[in-house]
Structure 1
Amino acid sequence: MKIVFFDARVWRYLVSAISKVIEEGVFVVDPEEGLMFRAMDPSHVIMLDMRFPRDSFEEFDVEQRTELGVNLEDVAKILRRASKEDRLEITADEDSISFAFIGKSYRKFTLPLLDITAEQLPEPQLEFKANIKVMSDVYRDTIKDVELIGDVIRFVASSDEFKVASSSELGEAEIIYTRESGSLIDLVVEDMQQASYTLEYFSDLSGASRVADTITIQFSTDMPALVEHELPQGAKFSFLIAPRVE
């Protein structure tokens, strides 16, 4: 098995973010579908889903569906060595997986594969009443703002604005985006929707937004939220997080 992706930094930021939530996981490589990763955190609060279609790779030499169990923290350490111009080559055999940076030099790192299997997690069947799309830098700044105050993030969406808030004994943070401000790419809301979530997960995963073009947040009142990252070459990273119901 050998696959090559045009920008190693995309993988660097994605895996670094994922490794803060999940220690071990399985990359599934399929000759038709591409590369997939889906897993839940140990507390079953959040489910992560990463997908790179076959066509997103410069080279995709995969003969059969393969599961690659890895220690994500170890992979993240290697990928942090990615430089600006590096492409990423991933190869694997029965016992090991290798990550190589193709740039000014060829740098290859090999790790043992773990004897774990991919979780069989069904596709969530949810209908969301609020759909908000923003630029990735807007999303990332919002997370940084609410981190200053509390440990719970609250979404409130109406037909003309999207509000993100957090409060604690320290005080309150409130960020409001409107159609007029130009910060919203899209806003579709049925009635008013509001829900709260554990901020720590958003903080841990915010690094993934550094390589995303846009972020879409979907939720309904006191229901799970789905946060989708649009990545280069048609790839996607999303997470589904359970609400905090006070």
Structure 2
Amino acid sequence: MKMVFFDARVWRYLISAISKVIEEGVFIVDPDEGLTFRAMDPSHVIMLDMKFPRDSFEEFDVEQRAELGVNLEDVAKVLRRAGKEDRLEISADENSISFTFIGKGYRRFTLPLLDITAEQLPEPQLEFKARVKVMSDVYRDTIKDVELIGDVIRFVASSEEFKVSSTSELGEAEIIYTRESGSLIELEAEDTQQASYTLEYFSDLSGASRVADMITIHFSTDMPALVEHELPQGARFSFLIAPRVE
């Protein structure tokens, strides 16, 4: 099988972020569905979901479904060598997976496949009462701001504003976005919704937002949050995180 993606850096930042939360995982390659990845962290606090439709690839030569078990930390190390103009070719056989950077020449790295099976995780069926869409740089700056203070991130959304905060012995960080400020692309909320989450996961995965256009956060009071990243070429990355209930 062989798949070619137009920008290796998309994979570089995405896999680097994922590898901070999950050490090993399985890429599922399907002739119709493209390449997908879904897994939970060892503590079962967060579920990651990555989807690259077949149409997102320049080339997608896959004849049959395959499960490719990989050490994500090793893959992340390889992908860090991606350059600004590099395309990425992913190929695999029964025993190994190769990542080739196509730019000023061909640079190929081959890693062994792991004998692991993909987790059977169903599609979450949740209804959210708040939905906030922001540009990816706004989201990333927000995470950096609250990191200065605490280890818990709190979302509060109403029909008029979206507030992100963190509190600790050091003090309090509070960031407020309103429709008038222009920082919110979309804001929908039934009444006032508020929930808290472990900030470490947002920090670890914030690197994925570097290659996203927009970030959409769905949540409800004291319920899980779904954070969606819109990636180039119709690809998507999201994570579903359990709340911290005091």
Using structure 2 for the length normalisation, give the TM-score: 1.00
**Which residue pairs with 2:43 in the alignment?**
43
CA distance in 1, matches of 2:111, 2:52: 21
**Which residue pairs with 1:150 in the alignment?**
150
**Which residue pairs with 2:230 in the alignment?**
230
Answering whether residue 20 of structure 2 is matched by residue 24 of structure 1, we say no
**Which residue pairs with 2:202 in the alignment?**
202
CA distance in 2, matches of 1:67, 1:58: 21
Number of aligned residues: 246
1:1-246 superposed matches below 5 A: 1-246=1-246
CA distance in 1, matches of 2:216, 2:117: 30
Quote the offset at 1:105 in angstroms: 1.3
CA distance in 1, matches of 2:122, 2:28: 15
Quote the offset at 1:242 in angstroms: 0.0
The residue type equivalent to 1:7 in the other structure is: D
Quote the offset at 1:34 in angstroms: 0.3
CA distance in 2, matches of 1:245, 1:190: 20
The residue type equivalent to 2:39 in the other structure is: A
SS of residue in 1 equivalent to 2:187: strand
Quote the offset at 1:240 in angstroms: 0.0
The residue type equivalent to 1:61 in the other structure is: D
CA distance in 2, matches of 1:244, 1:124: 19
CA distance in 2, matches of 1:27, 1:100: 17
**Which consecutive residues of structure 2, in runs of 5 or more, have no partner in the other structure?**
none
Q: How much identity, in percent, do the aligned residues show?
A: 89
CA distance in 1, matches of 2:65, 2:180: 48
CA distance in 2, matches of 1:93, 1:62: 11
CA distance in 1, matches of 2:128, 2:23: 30
CA distance in 1, matches of 2:64, 2:220: 40
CA distance in 2, matches of 1:13, 1:165: 26
CA distance in 2, matches of 1:230, 1:109: 28
SS of residue in 2 equivalent to 1:100: strand
Quote the offset at 1:199 in angstroms: 0.1
The residue type equivalent to 1:102 in the other structure is: I
Using structure 1 for the length normalisation, give the TM-score: 1.00
CA distance in 2, matches of 1:54, 1:12: 19
CA distance in 2, matches of 1:21, 1:214: 22
CA distance in 1, matches of 2:30, 2:179: 41
Quote the offset at 1:42 in angstroms: 0.1
Quote the offset at 1:43 in angstroms: 0.0
Quote the offset at 1:200 in angstroms: 0.0
CA distance in 2, matches of 1:29, 1:164: 37
SS of residue in 2 equivalent to 1:175: strand
CA distance in 2, matches of 1:105, 1:239: 35
SS of residue in 2 equivalent to 1:97: strand
CA distance in 1, matches of 2:105, 2:206: 30
Quote the offset at 1:155 in angstroms: 0.1
CA distance in 2, matches of 1:187, 1:128: 13
CA distance in 1, matches of 2:29, 2:191: 41
Report runs of 4+ in structure 1 exceeding 3 Å deviation.
none
The residue type equivalent to 1:2 in the other structure is: K
